[in-house]
Amino acid sequence: MPAAARCRIHHRRGQGRGVETHIVSAGMLDLRPPGLRLPVADLFADLPPPADPAA
């Protein structure tokens, strides 16, 4: 997924043998284990502001 999309795909173990997939573009990314919480906006802090889609 291109960085310009400003979202991340997070996979984690689910119940049993399943895998849960989450696509996040805002809020907090909760990584357990190891118990880290990251603001999604911080993952894109070094990128230029997104282009205005209305332009």
Number of domains into which the chain is organized: 1
- At residue 39, does pLDDT exceed 90? yes
CA angle 18, 24, 30 (to 5 degrees): 70
How much is the mean pLDDT over the chain? 82
SS3 41: helix
Q: What would the mean pLDDT of 33-50 be, rounded to a whole number?
A: 86
Is residue 40 in a domain? yes
Say which residue, 24 or 32, is predicted with more confidence. Answer: 24
Are 50 and 6 a contacting pair, CB within 8 Å?
yes
Are 28 and 37 a contacting pair, CB within 8 Å?
yes
Band (pLDDT 50/70/90 cuts) for residue 55 is very low
Is residue 49 in a domain? no
Query: The domain containing residue 16 runs over which residues?
Result: 3-44
Is residue 15 in a domain? yes
- Of 15, 32, 21, 18, the residue nearest 7 (C-alpha): 21
